[in-house]
Amino acid sequence: MGSAAEYWKRRRGFILAAIGSAIGLGNIWRFSWLCYRNGGGAFLVPYIIFLLIFGIPLLVLEFMLGHYFSGSSPKVFRKIKESLEPLGWLATINVFIIGTYYSVVLAWAMDYIGYSAVVAWKTVEGVGPTFDSMISNPAIVIVGLIITWLIVWITNFTGVASGIERACTYAIPLLWILSAVLVIRGLTLPGSDIGINWLLTPSAQAFSGSALIDAAGQILFTLSVFASTMIAYASYLPPKSEIPNSAWITAFANCGFSFFFAFATWGIIGYLMHIMNVVTPADLPVPLAGAGLAFVTIPTGVTLLPGAPFTTAVFGTLFFIVLWLAGYTSLISIVEPVYTALKDKFGIPRKKAITGIVAFSFIISILFAVRPDLIDPVDFMVGSTNGIWLVLLEAILAGYFLGMKLLRDYVNPNAEWKLGPWFDVFIKFISPIVLLVILGWGLATTAHVSPISVLTIVIMIIAALILSGFKWRTEEVK
């Protein structure tokens, strides 16, 4: 099996890092919107069902593969079958590209920490123009990029235990504490109950085809199951580590955060409805999803808080610190599997590899800072489509080529709850079927396929084949 050169110092550190990878921007601005759009509280039913029947099994699988092979995605796929190495590089390149534009959104959040502290938009009418002005001014965004990438570089450069584990040990509890402050403030605002009712009121819409696809897709993306990150993180677990229950803890902490923070978001939306005297959230003159929710709607809400502008500065700054922290712990987990792959194949030392990865990522991220309109078409391919089919193949290959009994026998001696043959059913049948339906539905209904999306996947395939063509530094993975 080989052994990893670095280990997590404590199991708690590994779990916090995995939670940090899973909790990201989507937990804050995507989950609560999907919940509202797809049947309120009833949406939680398919959401939780999908979490149990394929979200957690896939997360367990990635932990198992990373720990069993003690290595990166290219090494894992090559170990299963030598000709499959390009798939591992595709997964690695995929997550690398995600980091290049994900960091731009973090740069926006970094800039807005400063904007919020001085209430740069001054009035409600100035909120939207302030955001539009920022994203159309690359120089300002690049300042946020420099700060963000510098902090990420320091974290990953320092190592697994001293860098990533230490950062997440402080960042994740801080993320929850600051989020709790925002949730309490959101729930105590006049009219907050109006927003919460819109969030939670059940409707049969939760069981429509599109709602089921949304629930399944959100589970997959929110757990960072991309055939790369969680494999790399698990490769740093010491021998005889517990796997299944660590995945359960990670998954429920991540999904619990999504639900918890939704009360802050919809408390503020309810307050806006109360102040603006509108009947439905759709009547609000602000966006309810995506970056607009974070950079326009929330600032609008905090600008109207009692005690403004002081309260606006305090709670606006807190919100963007939370947003940045959630993205930061995800971004460091995006950089790490790229390093792990380069280390495994080429033997590049951590400090040199991390420096090169961060520098290259920063250069590419400048493109997205200058052309933010490229984010959506690239994200459609690497953030959605590729992730689904790569994990689909991962489940099929592990289930039918490697063999689930081999993996179960490997983890069960140290497991706090044992994996039985039932687990094979989830990996070999249920997960592939659900993923295939998500992929088919998404491709059939999307309007996002563009020349940029196609060019992205072509470049990725060429790069994966080139990287696969180089010789491995040792005989270990052959």
Read off the DSSP letter of residue 81.
-
pLDDT digits 0-9 by tens, 428-471: 999 999 999 988 888 887 766 788 888 999 999 999 999 999 99
Distance CA 126, CA 110 (A): 19
pLDDT digits 0-9 by tens, 216-237: 889 988 999 989 999 999 999 9
pLDDT digits 0-9 by tens, 13-67: 999 999 999 999 999 999 999 999 898 889 999 999 999 999 999 999 999 999 9
Phi, psi of 6 (to 5 degrees): -125, 150
Closest CA to 338 of 60, 162, 94: 94
> Check: CATH 3.40.50.720 for 11-469?
no
Distance CA 374, CA 378 (A): 6
Which sequence spans correspond to the domains of the chain? Answer: 11-469
What mean pLDDT comes out for the span 133-157?
Answer: 97
Kindly report the pTM of this predicted structure.
0.95
Q: Is the per-residue pLDDT at 478 higher than 50?
A: no
137: CB partners within 8 A, 6+ apart? none
